[in-house]
Chain A
Amino acid sequence: MKRIISFVFMLVFVVALVGCGGEKPKAQEDKKEPAAKEKLKVAFIYVGPVGDGGWSYAHDQGRKYLEQQMPDVETSYIESVPEGADSERVLTELVEKGNKIIFATSFGYMDSVIKVAQKYPDVKFLHCSGYKTAENVGTYFGRMYQARYLTGIIAGKTTKSNTIGYVAAFPIPEVIRGINAFTLGVRSVNPNAKVKVVWTNTWYDPAAEKEAAKSLLEAGADVITQHQDTPGPQQAAEEKGKFSIGYNSDMSKMAPKAVMTSAVWNWGPYYVETVKAIKEGTWKSSQYWGPMSDKIVDLAPYGPMVPEDVKKLVEAKKQEILEGKFDVFTGPIKDQTGKERVAAGQKMTDAEMLSFDWFVEGVDGTIPK
């Protein structure tokens, strides 16, 4: 008897759990369905919780922007979807629910997206930061390194110890490219400054990221920036009374005294453009790597501690980038050993930038092989 009760109890519990998980999107659908049945359904999958205050949060801001700008579009999302085989199931479910456009917002969804897309040719898939495409699969990403370079200028002007700390997740080209762009920005205004790098080997662990930032502060850094998914490093800087530059979304709320600005993702305009193009039938699969002039990457508002002349300097450089007059990775660029890797006047190609595996001069750290 007890066994049966316990079984029933567990069953109820599990059903309640599943119910909790699916509640959000369902509630949204119910509310809007009677009003207009012809709404275009767009779904998003996120690798982290929307409350991470970083990567997934930024994507979700984009989703909200899309819904606001296009009232005839209905959006839903599923958060904390693990990369790999599980994402295939989630993608299939979303298609079965009638979504016509799906944005998969993490690198590790790549193979699942391609697989599911083959089965459903009339659904469009957009995959963030990947490199595999198909007739109905496009990729998208932004040239974050342009914003990184600009924040580097602020850091280079701010540092007194000439040591800047960079908390980095994994040694992959995307992260290395960001570190290099940032360092070039720093050295453009302060050739004596060094950028110290500490790898955390995690995308999401606020406490560990904070700890890594603390180790950099102890090693003499007085400005901290990061390539992680949470504001942990910013809080370390705030506590020690030092400065910091955020990433992903505006992090000034989390560390108001420390954050000078943040290099931010601004996915909203891209989502609106893409959904419009698909609706009008003008969309074609492509590998989109959006520059700053498309507003996909930007700088968050400056904190009150950033002096006027620095702001002017940054804005001037930003203008050059927006007008296409300046490219971050233009030679001469030397690597850590002092060897010239990019000749004067030469520009690095996209392919070269996408496979970065070396640090520029001025980076104090190693790339684990």
Chain B
Amino acid sequence: MTQEFLITILATAITAGTPILYAALGELLAERCGILNLGVEGMMLVGAVTGFVFAVRSNDPWVGVLAAMLGGGALALVHAFLTVTLQANQVVSGLALTLFGTGLSGFIGKPYIGIPVENAFKPVTLGFLSDIPVLGPVFFHHDPLVYVTYILVPVLWFFIYYTRPGLHLRAVGENPAAADSLGVSVYRVRYLYVTLGGMLAGVGGAYLSLAYAPTWLENMTAGRGWIAVALVIFAIWNPLRAMLGSYIFGGIDALGFRAQAMGVMIPSFFLKMLPYIFTILVLIMVTRKAMANRVGAPGALGLPYDREER
């Protein structure tokens, strides 16, 4: 019983954490190149609805995922245009895009509310991996989109810390003027990663509408985009820690509900508060320049870059 209970909690933490993880990885890429993207919630919603609409129309969930990437990416492109080319305030642009994305997704999704999707993502087992006791049911009884993150997270981690383009990415976020003087196109890098980030946020939304729920309801992300934004700071801009953080966020609800069903009341408000407290602590920490450098906070985060003002 206890082992089974533990397995369920951990496995649920992974499924519940995956939409947040996708969005957090997207936000992480954007912030690593120095652009704060507060439009994640809107991009997730647009991804969720375009993914759902295309999956229903084509009867293929992968077409849905592709559409979600395009939808989220398109919205992120607007953010890149406003903040990189026009150097608009990143906070205002991001918030505007969240409002816009919420409205747009509601508008597109009107005829699709509550209808079931025939070919939603379903759990797939991976041969011997799924048969490993305890670890198998926890990690390898999920749908394909979860498995994608198992590969994506280490690849992104390696990419950011150990490759040349990754170095460029970090350099642009740390000190765009220096990167520019070394011949890295700051604008191109920022456009690229903000858009990629939006695509990932879109997939996060599609995970909700095509695998987790799977259905379309207006505003169905219910604030997960904001959690992702907080999580990136919680993870100190590291994909591996973002993965861990997403699973913690996902696991809290799973644990809370199951404890209740077993007749134990645990103070869920307190548990839900913990990650945010840690986020605030990190934010306080990085206000000190030396500390920020040590943990690896992007130095130019939130600052527009203008070549002419160099």
Contact = CB atoms under 8 A, between A and B. Distances in A.
Contacts of B214: 235
Contacts of A9: 82, 86, 88
Contacts of B100: 13, 17, 20
Contacts of B92: 10
Contacts of A80: 219
A114 to B, nearest CB: 28
B287 interface: no
A21 B103 contact: yes
Contacts of B89: 10
B103 to A, nearest CB: 6
A198 B306 contact: no
Contact of B269 (A20, A198, A201): A201
A14 B96 contact: yes
Interface stretch (B64-72, B172-180, B232-240, B258-266): B258-266
Interface string A199-215: 11110111110111011
Nearest to A20: B103
Contacts of B116: 254-256
A138 interface: no
A148 to B, nearest CB: 21
A40 to B, nearest CB: 27
B87 A365 contact: no
Interface in A218-239: 218-219, 230-232, 235
B268 interface: yes
A204 B208 CA distance: 14
Contacts of B182: none
Interface in A17-38: 17, 20-21
Interface in B229-288: 253-254, 257-258, 260-263, 265, 268-269
Given A14-B96, A17-B103, A6 B82 contact: yes
B43 interface: no
Contacts of A219: 258, 261-262
B295 interface: no
Interface residues of B, number: 48
Chain A interface size range: 35 or more
Interface stretch (B106-114, B130-138, B141-149, B187-195): B106-114
A51 interface: yes
B218 interface: yes
Contacts of A21: 103
Nearest to B223: A205
B108 to A, nearest CB: 11
Contact of B114 (A7, A48, A205, A254): A254
Contact of A49 (B219, B262, B265): B219
Contacts of B254: 211, 215
B261 A216 contact: yes
Contacts of A204: 219, 222
Interface of A: 2-3, 5-7, 9-10, 13-14, 17, 20-21, 48-53, 57, 80, 165, 196-202, 204-208, 210-212, 214-216, 218-219, 230-232, 235, 251, 253-256, 364-366, 368
17 contacts: A10-B89, A13-B96, A49-B218, A51-B110, A52-B219, A53-B113, A198-B261, A201-B268, A202-B222, A204-B219, A211-B254, A214-B257, A216-B261, A219-B261, A230-B220, A254-B215, A256-B116
